[in-house]
Structure 1
Amino acid sequence: MLTKKQKRFLRAQSHHIQPIFQVGKAGVGEQMIRQINEALEARELIKITVLQNCMMDQEDVVEALLEGTASYIVQVIGHTIVLYKRAQKQPKIMLPES
C-alpha cells in the first residue's frame, strides 16, 4: 500500500510521462495485461489512457488492471490512469519513506 507522501511523489514523477497504452473497444484483455506487466517491470511507472469508445466502465478498467498486474493505483484523472509497480530485478524509483 502506498502512503499519501509516496503517491504525491509518484504523481510528480508521472507528470512528464506520456501514456503508452490505450484501452479501447476491446477492453482489458489477457494480452494487454501481459504487455502492461512487461512495461511496469521495465519502467515501474506508466500512464494508460481509456478511450471514449471503450465498452467497459472506467472503474471496471481500473479494477481489471489492478487485479491483472498486482500494481498500485497512483492517480486517475480524466481518462488517464497512472500505475506503479516496483521492478523485481532492478528498481529505478526510490520511494520516500512514509
Structure 2
Amino acid sequence: MIELSPAQRRELRASAHHLNPVVSIAGNGLTPAVMQEIERSLQAHELIKIKVHGVERNDREMLMHEVCNALEAAPVQHIGTILVVWRKRREEERPSGAAATKLTGDKRPSKAKSARVFAANARRSALMREAAERRRKAPRGAKPGGSGRNR
C-alpha cells in the first residue's frame, strides 16, 4: 500500500470531488471480477471512486485497505459509502519488432495511404461546404431535394 503525505492526500481529495464512482461493490463483495475492474479503472484514470452498497462502516474501511494492499494503491478518502483510491499509472509492457506489428497491428500508415486519406477528407470537406451553401441559399421552408410540390 502506498502512503501519501497529508498535502498529497488533500490535493487528491480535491481532484476527486467532481468524479463519479466507476466501480460498485455490492452483495457479492470483493470478487475477482470486481478487483480486475478496479485494476483497469486505476490503470485508465489513476484516481477513482468506488461505491460500496450494503456494508457497515468498519467493513468498508477493511475493504478499502484490502483493495489498496492487493493493487498497491493509496487510500485517499472514505466518506460515507464512497471510497477514493489512487495509484500511479503503470507502464504497459509492449512486445517489440515484428511481433508487435503482428499482435497489435500498430503499423504506421504509408505516405501514399496518408495522402489518399488527406485527399478523401479534403473532398468530403468541399462537398459538405457546398451542401451547406445550397441550404443557406434555398428559399425558406423549401425541402431539400424536392420540387416544392406535395407527393
What TM-score results when the alignment is normalised by the length of structure 2? 0.55
In structure 1, what is the equivalent of residue 78 of structure 2? 76
Instruction: Tell me which stretches of 4 or more aligned residues in structure 1 moved more than 4 Å.
Output: none
In the TM superposition, residue 67 of structure 1 has moved relative to its aligned partner by 2.2
More relative contact order, 1 or 2 (CA 8 Å, 6+ apart)? 1
CA RMSD in angstroms, aligned pairs only: 1.8
Residue in structure 2 matched with residue 49 of structure 1 by the alignment: 51
Q: Would you tell me which structure has more strand in proportion to its own residues?
A: 1
Unaligned runs of 5+ in 1: 91-98
Letter of the aligned partner of 2:87 in structure 1? K
Structure 1 length-normalised TM = 0.82
Give the structure with the larger helix fraction: 2
> Aligned pairs, how many?
89
What fraction of aligned residue pairs are identical, expressed as a percent? 29
Q: Which of 47, 62, 65 lines up with 2:64 in the alignment?
A: 62
Separation (CA, whole Å) in 1 of partners of 2:62 and 2:76? 16
Q: Mind listing any 5+ residue stretches in structure 2 that lack a counterpart?
A: 93-151
The correspondence for 1:13, drawn from 6, 15, 35, is 15
The residue number in structure 2 matching 1:38 is 40
CA distance in 2, matches of 1:2, 1:40: 16
Task: Please tell me whether the aligned partners of residues 28 and 64 of structure 1 are also in contact (alpha carbons under 8 angstroms).
Answer: no
Match for residue 130 of structure 2?
none
Residue 66 of structure 1, CA deviation = 1.4
